Amino acid sequence: MNNLNSLSGKKILVAITGSIAAVKAPILVSRLIKAGVEVKCVMTKSASKLVSPLSLSTLSRNQCYQDKDQWDDSQTKPLHIALAEWAELIIVAPMSATSLSKFTCGNADGLLASILLASKSQIVIAAAMNTSMWENQSVKKNWNYLKTIEQVISLEPSKGLLACDRVGDGKMVSLDIIELASESAFIFNSENKFLTKDLKNIRFLVSAGPTVEDLDAARQLTNRSSGKMGVLIAQAAKLRGADVDLVHGPISVQEDLLEGLNTYPVRSSSEMGAKINDLQPYAQVIVMAAAVSDFKKISPSEQKISKEFFLQSIVDDLEMTSDLIKTQTAKRLENQIFLGFAAETGSDQEIIEKGENKRILKGCDLLMANPIDRDGQGFDKNFNSGFLLGPKKMVKNLSFSTKLSISHQLLDEIRNLKSKISINF
């Protein structure tokens, strides 16, 4: 991610174990340092054969600790205790099969193993290994147990080309996803709680980004939406255990931020509506965050229209697109929750009034009305704010914050609404 402001000033221990993905650790450390994080590193003996401890020390501006340092007689406190107490968050990236086994079995053999057992902070663990190792029943058993530990945010490996030239599951998730998980951990830690899988077994359907309507061979109708808000809602839900389908227009976010989601790229409003219609019956929560074009040309020209005739061709051949939210809420199944979005301008009161009118008209349970005429937020920005509107004239002010923080607040309200209407997820 380009914006990691919420991590600035935090103390993070980056732990590296013996997987070839360890070569990505210096990049992770460098990114965290640039974001203002205070970083310390610890590595296993196997990891030191893959990446230089000196490079990590240089990048982090702190000593890189190894097993040989654990019982240094100059220590006034056991090193594993000191580091466990110092770290506000621990990132293990990558986590090898060996280190996974030690942690899940309570084995304190080695500095890192001892730190993980002594820590009371949240731990982000990103596994990486050969596909056959990942699919081994013993490893799966350890990983499944790891996922039950409230303290741990577990990031399963993705599918890709591995160092052994095999294509399969085992590739460490992208650094963008590791950073999202870390930022999410601190969002929840501010309330003295861990990020947990409170959305487990819930299926989300999220729409994101703009749609594009062709006018002729050279021109099109679209808008300034980047798709960041919808993508981050999708990833936040996944981090909290949900299964997520993401239907998106031509978004302008890093491709790595789509990792782990079931993605369905579309272009036009009609394509988006058709795909959402296909997926809606399988979802318990539908988040309509896409900025759908309001108009489309009835008969787009396959040729470029000369500018002398272009305006007239638009006037004679333009129609409104379907209201996708209203169309889908009309087809809602029992106990489905709909969250809509409305990009607005004006004063706070004007935004609230226009948002509530749209919530009722479109049939949404919840609707976020967000201003797009204020500096540093809205379309194509990392920050947002607005008003979450809901049943019984509920108005909740979502103050200026990162879009990831806003995403988690919206998910909290979905959970609250679920309990009020007794939905059995």
CA nearest to 206, candidates 36, 379, 407:
407
262-265 vs 243-248, strand pairing mode: parallel
Distance CA 400, CA 362 (A): 26
Give catalytic status of residue 164 as yes or no: yes
Neighbours of 275 (CB within 10 A): 18
Residue tagged active-site, from 41, 64, 164, 364:
164
Residues forming the active site: 164
